[in-house]
Amino acid sequence: MSADMLAIARSGTRAARAALDVTAQNIANASSEGYVRRSVQLSEVSASSGIGGAGSTTLAGVRISGIARNADVFRQAEVRRTGGDAARASTEVQGLENIEAAVEQSGVYKASVAFEGSLQQLLSDPTDGALRASVMESGRTLASTLNVTVASLDAAGKGLRFEAQDGVDQVNLLTGELARVNARLGRATEASATQSTLLDQRDTLLQKLSGQVDITTTFAADRTVEVRIGGATGPTLLSGQTSATMAMATATDGTVSFTLDGAAVTPASGALAGRSQALEQLADTRDKIDTIAAGIISAVNGAQTSGVDLQGAPGAPLFSGTNASTIALATNDGSKIATAPAGTGPQSRDAGNLAVLRGALGAANPSGGLDAVLFDVSSAVAGRTVTRDALASIADSASIALQTQAGVDLDQEAVNLIRFQQAFSASGRVMQVANDLFDTILGIR
């Protein structure tokens, strides 16, 4: 009987020791990413004695039935879903902000207004060399700011495509990791420490994956995960240990598309979706700026042909190139501006053709077009920022809700530390009592 007591106390100390270990592990991992608070599950060990001894039970102490991992599957799925949405919105806004900065900070709008203004100023004295030079210089500024604008748009696009490619690589890497975790999960013992660690890994990987693409997960009985892109009927990214390979293709206009094992796939959320949307907006913006540049070139060069320059020669094109990246001044000579109508002699102050030029430029309305482009992009940024902030706060709430439930609370661990310390001491005390009892029996004489 006292042997039983000793055995029970020994199981008690072992359980308390294990609980203290788990508490220590929890405290150590209080700020580890993806760590889910563990707790020890204890159960009583008892058995009814053999056939004859009905009513008498053998007490055999306590045993550790498992290490519980306090993860809420629903909250984890919420964190993945909302996190994917927030990542999409945030990368899209980031891309759009780059586009906005490219168009706004190049000062292309100001340059266009300055070009208009210099032509208006030239009206006051069409033969003035200084005013003509100022038209050429503001034309040069306009051409080079247009060049700079599309160059920075291209740079932004290059960055976005690089990041998107990196995202695709990440997806493939994470899927490979998940396949390995699946393999090991299949072999892990239920409720073991190994399994808990693997599950932590699995959930962290899934969360990272959902940051790139929208995924739907299905968990099997052995805790392995099947991942599909999009909804429950989407293409399979990972099933057991078989993973599909994602790839990215770039179109001529710089937009990107994704394939999964050769089949086209369109992520609806996640950073990849955000980058792809930003790239579409970028291609659209670049198109508009090209159209505006082409409008300037055809308006100015077209009006030039109907007039004569300061030497009385027929007007030659002022701008060369066909779009915003190729636009440049065709001449540096201010006297080549055809201000006078055809048929007038050299040095004419007749501003008839300058009026035609201004009229053509007014009809092409580059300043208005650039204002519209800036307005489009900036209102897209403003609108998406609201969406992003909303999605980010939803994602934050979801992740804090998960943290609240699955994270480590140091106060609670402190309480556990004392509680299990006391349990350990109490079991030690039981050993002491068993020893005393044994001594009492031996002491009978």
Kindly identify the residues of this chain, within the stretch 331-390, that bind another protein according to CB under 8 A: 347-351, 367, 371, 374-375, 377-379, 381-382, 385
Q: DSSP labels for 147-212?
A: HHHHHHHHHHHHHHHHHHHHHHHHHHHHHHHHHHHHHHHHHSPTT-HHHHHHHHHHHHHHHHHHHH
CB of 405 to another protein, least distance (A): 8
CB of 168 to another protein, least distance (A): 29
CB of 357 to another protein, least distance (A): 14
Q: Is 411 in the site for another protein (CB under 8 A)?
A: yes
Cα–Cα distances in angstroms (integers) from residue 151 to residues 100, 145, 286, 296, 417, in the given order: 13, 9, 10, 18, 62
CB of 128 to another protein, least distance (A): 6
Q: Is 410 in the site for another protein (CB under 8 A)?
A: yes
Q: Given the rule CB under 8 A, which of 11-19, 110-118, 145-153, 430-438 is the region that contacts another protein? A: 110-118
Rounded CA-CA distance 194/35 in Å is 13
CB of 365 to another protein, least distance (A): 11
Rounded CA-CA distance 139/328 in Å is 9
Q: Is 116 in the site for another protein (CB under 8 A)?
A: yes
Rounded CA-CA distance 317/129 in Å is 19
Q: Is 28 in the site for another protein (CB under 8 A)?
A: no
Out of 68, 113, 247, 431, the residue judged to bind another protein by CB under 8 A: 113
Structure tokens at 227: 């991942």
By beta-carbon proximity to another protein, the closer residue of 36 and 215 is 36
Out of 18, 405, 431, 435, the residue judged to bind another protein by CB under 8 A: 405
Rounded CA-CA distance 97/378 in Å is 8
User: Which amino acid would we find at residue 50?
Assistant: G
Rounded CA-CA distance 322/136 in Å is 18
Comparing CA positions, the residue from 208, 40, 242, 231 lying closest to residue 200 is: 208
Compute how many residues bind another protein; rule: CB under 8 A. Answer: 54
By beta-carbon proximity to another protein, the closer residue of 8 and 408 is 408
Q: Is 403 in the site for another protein (CB under 8 A)?
A: yes
Q: How many CA atoms lie within 13 A of 14 on its CB side?
A: 13
Rounded to the nearest 10°, the torsion over CA 370, 376, 381, 387 is: 180
Q: Given the rule CB under 8 A, which of 124-132, 151-159, 170-178, 262-270 is the region that contacts another protein? A: 124-132
Determine what percent of the chain falls in helix, strand and coil, rounding each to the nearest 5: 65, 15, 25
Q: Is 313 in the site for another protein (CB under 8 A)?
A: no
Beta bridge partners, 67, equal 40
Q: Left if phi > 0, otherwise alpha if psi is -120 to 50, otherwise beta: which for 45?
A: beta
Out of 109, 258, 319, 424, the residue judged to bind another protein by CB under 8 A: 109
CB of 196 to another protein, least distance (A): 17
Q: Given the rule CB under 8 A, which of 84-92, 263-271, 408-416, 436-444 is the region that contacts another protein? A: 408-416
CB of 214 to another protein, least distance (A): 24
Q: Is 39 in the site for another protein (CB under 8 A)?
A: no
Binding site for another protein (CB under 8 A): 30-31, 37, 97, 100-101, 104, 109-110, 113-114, 116-117, 120-121, 123-125, 127-128, 347-351, 367, 371, 374-375, 377-379, 381-382, 385, 396-397, 399-401, 403-412, 414-415, 417-418
